[in-house]
C-alpha cells in the first residue's frame, strides 16, 4: 500500500511540474487563450489557425469544451490568428506579437454572431501581455542587438540591460570561452549561468565555459531568465541565457559589413609619451556577410513556405602592439657585480644598497635561533662561482634599453611586442516544414581562433619569455530539432545537440629544447623551459599555467511532450547529457 501511495504522489508531482513547465520553451514561444461569444460564454469546437508572417508556417487547433486552446513550440516572430465556427463571423487578428523567445502569450478571442462569409479583422492586436509565465527576466530583441553600439559586436555585452545581471569579465571577442560565462545573476557565483543556443546547451564541463559565441548578425534575439525558472533550467545555480539564431524567410535578405579600427587618428598613450615611444600599432578589421531566404532552384524547386536557409560568415583580423615594462639584469649584474644594485628596504621602503652573502658560509647562530652567513667580499660573486646555466640564461635575456624609474632599476627595459589575432566564424541553418504537422531544422556554428593570447614580455617566440603564449581553438556546435503535431492537442519536441571545444595553448618555449640551449645537466625531461624566479626582476622561462590541451564534448538529447487537457496545458520532458572531458595541463616537469 505504501508503494502505491508513493506512486500516486509521484504522478501528482509530475502533473504539477508539467503544468508549470508548459510556458518555458527554450528557443520557442507559445500562444494560449479562451474563445468566447459576445455574452462571455465559452465556444467549443472553434477552428483556430496561426500563421507565421515571415515564413508562412501554419498551425491548426480546435478549442475544447472549456473553450480553451493552445499553440506550443512556435518560432519567434509575428503571427496572424484566424478563428471560425458555424454561426459566427470569421475573426482575424492580422498582426499578433512579435512573440519573443520563451514567451507565453495570452490571446483571448471573442466571436460575433453572423455568417462565416463575414469577417471581423483587426490589423494589429493590443500589446502582448505575458500573464502565463512566472519567470523573471528580460528579452533583448533584434532591434536593440542591431542598433546599440557593441565593442567587438558581441550580443552578450547586452546582458547588462537586465536588472540584477552583472558580467564580471569582458566578453569582447572572447572566442576562447574563458570570460563569456563570467556572469553573476542576482548575486550568484560568476560562472554558474547556463547558456543555450537554439535550445542546445553551450556550457562544457571545464569551468562551465562557453566555447562558441554568436555574432550579432546571426542572432534574432535572446532572453535572460534571472528568477522563477522552471525545472528544465535546474542544472545551473545562476540565471539562464536563451539565444535564438536567425532563420530564412519567404523574402531574400542579406547584409555585408566591415568595421575598421586604426591607430591613424589615435593619440599616443601617457606611458609611451613619457618613454618617448611612438604610438602602438592597431589594425582591427571585422568583416562578414549574412544571407537568408527560401531555397529556390529555378524550374526545379520552390521552397517558399517550406524550405529556408540562413548563412553567416564573420572574420576578425587584429594586428596590434602593446607596451611592456620590466626589470632585467644590468651589464654589471650579469658579471656577478652587485656594487651598484639597490633594493627597497622592507622597513623604511627606501632604496638601499643590496648586500650579498656567501651561501657556503652558512652556520647556526650561536647566540640564538636561525643561521648566519658572511658577506661576499666587495659585494661581487667570484667569476669561478658563477653557474654556467645562469650565465647562459642571462645571455639570452634582452639588455636594458630604458632609463629606470628609480634607483632599484625598475622598468629598465621596454618592449612593444605584437599581439596578432585571427578569427573566422561560420554558421549555416536550414529549416524545413514537412507537411502541416512537422517542422525540422538543423544549425551548425563553427569558430576558429589563432592568436597570441598573452602579450610577450620580451618577444614572441623567445625561449625564456615569462608570459608569451599562443593559443588556437576550433569550436563547434550542432543542433537538430524536430517538432511534430500528432493531434491539435498533442505536440512533441525532440532536440539533439553537440557542443565541442578544442583549445590548445602553448608557452613560447614549447618545443624549443631549452634544456639543451641552457646546457642543463642530464635527467631533465622538458615540456617547456624551466622557470627562474628572481626577486625584483622579471621571471624567466615558461609560464606553466599557459600550457593547456583541452578537448571537451557535450552531447544532449531533449524531448518534451505538450498536451492540452481541459483548462490545463501539461508539459512533460526528459533530457539526457553526456560530457567528455580530456584536459591535459601538466606544467613544467
Per-residue pLDDT tens over the stretch 317-351: 999 998 989 999 999 999 999 999 999 888 888 88
Residue 68 belongs to what H/E stretch?
A: strand 68-74
Averaged pLDDT score across all residues of the chain: 84
Mean pLDDT, residues 199-204: 88
Tens digit of each residue's pLDDT (9 = 90 or more) over 486-508 = 988 888 999 999 999 999 988 88
User: Rounded CA gap, 449 and 63, in Å?
Assistant: 52
Asked whether the predicted pLDDT for residue 259 surpasses 80, the reply is: yes
Q: Which of 26-40, 162-176, 387-401 has the highest mean pLDDT?
A: 387-401
Give the pLDDT of residue 123: 59
| pLDDT tens digits, one per residue of 2-58 | 454 444 444 444 443 433 333 345 678 888 889 998 888 888 899 999 999 999 989
Give 438-487 as a DSSP string: EEEEEEEEEEEEEEEEE--SS-TT-TT-SS-EEEEEEEEEEEEEEEEEEE
pLDDT at 589 over 50: no
Instruction: Tell which wins on pLDDT, 504 or 236.
Output: 504
The whole-model pTM stands at: 0.82
| pLDDT value for 14 | 42
d(CA 524, CA 527): 10
pLDDT band at 310, cuts 50/70/90? Answer: very high
Would you state the pLDDT for residue 492? 92
pLDDT band, residue 400 (cuts 50/70/90)? very high
Give the end-to-end CA distance of the chain in Å, rounded to a whole number.
63
User: What pLDDT score was predicted for residue 441?
Assistant: 94
pLDDT value for 177: 55
Highest mean pLDDT among 23-37, 55-69, 560-574 belongs to 55-69
DSSP string, 85-112: -TTB-EEEEEEEEEE-TT-EEE--EEPP
Highest mean pLDDT, choosing among 47-51, 240-244, 449-453: 47-51
In the chain, % of residues over pLDDT 70: 88
Kindly report, residue by residue over 267-293, the tens digit of the pLDDT: 999 988 988 889 999 999 999 999 999
3-state secondary structure of 16: helix
Contacts of 442 (CB under 8 A, 6+ apart): 429, 430, 478, 479, 480, 481
Highest mean pLDDT among 167-181, 219-233, 448-462: 448-462
User: What pLDDT shows up at residue 497?
Assistant: 95
When pLDDT is cut at 50, 70 and 90, the band that residue 521 belongs to is confident
How far apart are alpha carbons 534 and 514 in whole angstroms? Answer: 19
For residues 358 and 375, the answer to whether their CB atoms sit within 8 Å is yes
Strand duo 104-106 + 29-36: pairing: parallel
Amino acid at each position: 500500500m505504501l508503494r502505491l501511495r508513493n506512486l500516486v504522489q509521484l504522478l501528482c508531482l509530475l502533473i504539477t511540474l508539467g503544468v508549470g513547465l508548459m510556458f518555458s520553451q527554450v528557443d520557442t514561444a507559445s500562444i494560449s487563450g479562451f474563445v468566447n461569444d459576445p455574452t462571455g460564454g465559452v465556444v467549443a469546437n472553434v477552428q483556430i489557425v496561426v500563421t507565421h508572417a515571415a515564413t508562412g508556417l501554419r498551425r491548426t487547433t480546435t478549442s475544447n469544451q472549456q473553450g480553451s486552446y493552445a499553440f506550443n513550440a512556435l518560432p519567434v516572430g509575428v503571427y496572424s490568428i484566424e478563428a471560425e465556427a458555424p454561426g459566427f463571423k470569421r475573426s482575424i487578428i492580422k498582426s499578433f506579437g512579435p512573440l519573443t523567445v520563451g514567451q507565453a502569450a495570452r490571446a483571448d478571442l471573442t466571436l460575433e454572431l453572423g455568417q462565416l462569409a463575414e469577417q471581423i479583422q483587426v490589423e494589429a492586436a493590443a500589446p502582448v501581455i505575458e500573464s502565463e509565465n512566472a519567470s523573471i527576466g528580460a528579452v533583448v530583441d533584434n532591434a536593440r542587438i542591431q542598433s546599440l553600439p557593441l565593442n567587438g559586436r558581441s550580443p552578450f555585452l547586452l546582458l547588462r540591460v537586465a536588472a540584477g545581471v552583472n558580467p564580471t569579465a569582458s566578453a569582447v571577442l572572447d572566442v576562447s570561452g574563458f570570460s563569456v560565462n563570467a556572469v553573476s545573476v542576482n548575486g550568484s557565483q560568476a560562472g554558474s549561468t547556463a547558456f543555450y543556443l537554439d535550445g542546445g546547451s553551450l556550457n562544457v564541463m571545464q569551468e562551465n565555459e562557453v566555447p562558441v559565441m554568436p555574432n550579432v548578425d546571426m542572432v534574432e534575439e535572446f532572453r535572460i531568465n534571472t528568477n522563477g525558472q522552471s525545472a528544465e533550467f535546474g542544472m545551473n545555480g545562476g540565471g539562464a541565457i536563451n539565444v535564438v539564431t536567425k532563420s530564412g524567410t519567404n523574402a531574400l535578405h542579406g547584409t555585408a559589413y566591415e568595421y575598421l579600427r586604426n591607430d591613424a587618428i589615435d593619440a599616443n598613450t601617457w606611458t609611451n609619451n613619457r618613454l618617448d615611444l611612438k604610438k602602438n600599432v592597431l589594425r582591427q578589421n571585422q568583416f562578414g556577410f549574412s544571407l537568408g531566404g527560401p531555397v529556390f532552384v529555378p524550374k526545379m524547386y520552390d521552397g517558399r513556405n517550406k524550405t529556408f536557409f540562413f548563412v553567416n560568415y564573420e572574420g576578425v583580423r587584429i594586428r596590434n602592439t602593446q607596451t611592456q615594462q620590466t626589470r632585467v639584469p644590468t651589464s654589471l649584474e650579469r658579471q656577478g657585480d652587485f656594487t651598484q644594485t639597490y633594493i627597497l628596504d622592507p622597513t623604511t621602503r627606501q632604496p638601499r644598497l643590496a648586500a650579498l652573502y656567501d651561501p657556503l658560509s652558512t652556520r647556526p647562530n650561536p647566540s640564538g635561533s636561525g643561521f648566519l652567513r658572511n658577506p661576499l667580499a666587495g659585494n661581487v660573486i667570484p667569476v669561478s662561482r658563477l653557474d654556467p646555466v645562469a650565465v647562459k640564461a642571462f645571455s639570452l635575456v634582452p639588455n636594458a634599453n630604458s632609463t629606470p624609474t628609480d634607483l632599484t632599476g625598475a622598468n629598465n627595459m621596454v618592449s612593444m611586442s605584437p599581439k596578432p589575432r585571427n578569427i573566422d566564424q561560420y554558421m549555416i541553418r536550414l529549416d524545413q516544414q514537412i507537411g502541416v504537422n512537422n517542422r525540422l531544422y538543423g544549425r551548425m556554428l563553427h569558430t576558429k581562433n589563432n592568436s597570441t593570447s598573452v602579450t610577450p614580455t620580451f618577444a614572441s617566440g623567445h625561449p625564456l619569455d615569462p608570459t608569451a603564449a599562443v593559443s588556437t581553438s576550433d569550436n563547434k556546435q550542432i543542433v537538430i530539432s524536430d517538432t511534430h503535431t500528432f493531434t491539435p492537442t498533442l505536440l512533441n519536441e525532440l532536440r539533439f545537440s553537440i557542443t565541442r571545444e578544442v583549445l590548445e595553448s602553448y608557452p613560447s618555449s614549447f618545443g624549443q629544447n631549452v634544456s639543451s640551449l641552457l646546457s642543463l645537466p642530464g635527467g631533465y625531461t622538458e615540456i617547456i623551459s624551466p622557470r627562474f624566479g628572481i626577486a625584483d626582476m622579471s621571471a624567466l622561462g615558461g609560464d606553466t599555467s599557459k600550457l593547456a590541451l583541452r578537448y571537451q564534448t557535450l552531447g544532449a538529447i531533449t524531448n518534451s511532450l505538450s498536451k492540452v487537457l481541459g483548462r490545463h496545458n501539461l508539459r512533460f520532458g526528459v533530457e539526457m547529457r553526456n560530457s567528455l572531458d580530456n584536459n591535459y595541463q601538466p606544467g613544467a616537469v
